[in-house]
Amino acid sequence: MNVKAGAWIMAAGLTLASGGPAASSIFNPESFTLENGMQVVVIPNHRAPVVAHWVWYRVGTADSPSGKSGLPHFLEHLMFKATETIPQGEFSKIVARNGGNDNAVTSYDFTAYYQMIARDRLELVMGMEADRMVNLQLTEEAVLPERDVVIEERRSRVDNEPS
**Which residue numbers are catalytic?**
76
Number of neighbouring beta carbons within 10 Å of residue 15? 13
Helices (H) and strands (E) in the chain, counts: 6, 5
Dihedral of the alpha carbons of 26, 55, 36, 23, in degrees to the nearest 10: -10
> Amino acid identity, residue 141?
E
- Helix runs in the chain, H state only: 3-17, 21-27, 71-78, 91-97, 122-135, 140-154
Beta bridge partners of 51: 117
Contact 31, 39 (CB under 8 A): yes
